[in-house]
Amino acid sequence: MNASLAPLVATAQALMAPGKGLLAMDESVGTCNRRLAEVGIAQTPENRHRYRELLVTTPGLSEAISGVILFDETSHQSTAEGVPFVEVLQGAGVLVGIKVDAGAKLLAGHPDEQVTEGLDGLRERLAHYASRGARFAKWRAVLKIGDGLPSRACMLVNAHALARYAALCQEAQLVPIVEPEVLMDGGHTLARCSEVTGEVLHQVFEQLYRQGVVLEGMVLKPNMVLPGLSCAGTASLEEVADATLSCLRRGVPAAVAGIAFLSSGQSAKLATARLNAMNLRAGSQGPETALPANGLPWPLTFSFGRALQQPALGLWAGDDVNRVAAQKALLHRARCNGAAAQGTWRPGMESDGLST
C-alpha cells in the first residue's frame, strides 16, 4: 500500500476503536427542526445551536464515541464561550466528520426513486472541511423496497455516486463513510430485505473497486437487515443478527476497515439490542487468528443519530435546567452501544441512566 495512505488507514482504524462508535448529528436544517418540533421546541437557529452545543460538550463523550458527524451549519458554530465546536471535539479526543452530500432528489425517469446529489464542487468542499479539521466525511444514498424497486438504474447511479465521493475523499485525505441505506418503509419481509441489501452492496463495492477506492481507508455504514415497518411478520434479535451477518459476509470484502450501522429509525434500545446480538452471534462461532474478537474480518459498531440523541432531546426539551440530565442520557446511550459493539451489553444496563 502507498505510504501516503497510511494516515487514512490510521483514521479509519481509530474510528473503529473497540467499544466505540459514531454519533451522527448531521441532520439537515429541516430534519433538525422537525425533531425539535416533536418535543415542543421552537424551530429557530438559536435552538438548533443550543441543542447541538449540548451534544458536543457532553462530558466523557469519548469514552464510547470515536467520531462525530457534523452538518455544515454545525461545523462553523462555536460554544457560548466562543470555542469552535470542532475544537471542542478535538480537545475531547473525538474525530470530526462532515456530511457532504446535498441530499436525495428524484431520479429522472423513476418517479418513485431517488439519487443523492452533491458531486459538483465536492473536491473544493472537501479541501475546505479538511483545512478546518475534518478527518472523515459521509455521503448517504437511499433505496426503497417496493414492487419492482429498487430498480437496477437506481442501484447503479447511487453506487456510482458513492464511489466517486469516496475516491474524492481519499484524495483529500478524508476517510469516506459510505452509506447505502435500504429503507425500512414498506411491507417487505426479512428475506426480501436481505436480497436487496446484498445486491446493493454488490453494486457499491463493484463501483468502489472500479474507481480505485482503498478499502482499508473507508468505513461502510449500512442498514441492518430488517423486515419492513408494515410487514405482518416479526423477526427476533437472533434472526435479524443472522440475516445481517450472512448478507455482510457475502457482500463486504475483508479489507474494509469496519462496519458502522445506521439505526434506520429504530428505537434506541432495539438498535442497541440488535447490534449486541450481531456481535454475540458472530463471536459464538469462535474468533479466528488475526480477526477481531467477534470472529469477523471487520469490527461491527454503530453510527447512530436518532437512536443516540432522542432520549437526550426529550429530556432537554429546550430548557437548559435539564441540560446535565440530557447529557447524561446521551452518554448512557453511547456507553450502551459501546458495550453492544463488543457483545457485552445486557438488558440490565438500561435500568439506570447513569449505567457504566
Active-site residue, 179 included = yes
Q: Which one from 20, 99, 221, 328 is the annotated catalytic residue?
A: 221
Q: DSSP state, 224?
A: P
Q: Which one from 138, 179, 181, 328 is the annotated catalytic residue?
A: 179
Neighbours of 97 (CB within 10 A): 31
Burial of 5 (0-12, 13-18, 19+ CB in 10 A): middle
User: Which helix (H) or strand (E) element contains residue 30?
Assistant: helix 29-38
227-242 burial: b if 16+ Cβ within 10 Å, else e = bbeebeeebebebbbb
Contacts of range 231-236, beta carbons closer than 8 Å, 24 or more positions apart: 231/186, 231/187, 231/188, 231/189, 231/190, 232/187, 233/189, 233/190, 235/190
**What CA–CA distances, in Å, run from 269 to 24, 183, 304, 322?**
17, 19, 12, 22
Active-site residue, 221 included = yes
Query: What's the grid cell of residue 153?
Result: 438504474
Cβ neighbours of residue 103 closer than 8 Å, sequence gap 6 or more = 28, 116, 117, 118
Place of cell 466525511: 137
Angle (CA) 306 189 116, round 5°:
50
Beta strands 95-99; 65-70: pairing state: parallel
Q: How far apart are CA 59 and CA 61, in angstroms?
A: 6
Active site residues: 179, 221
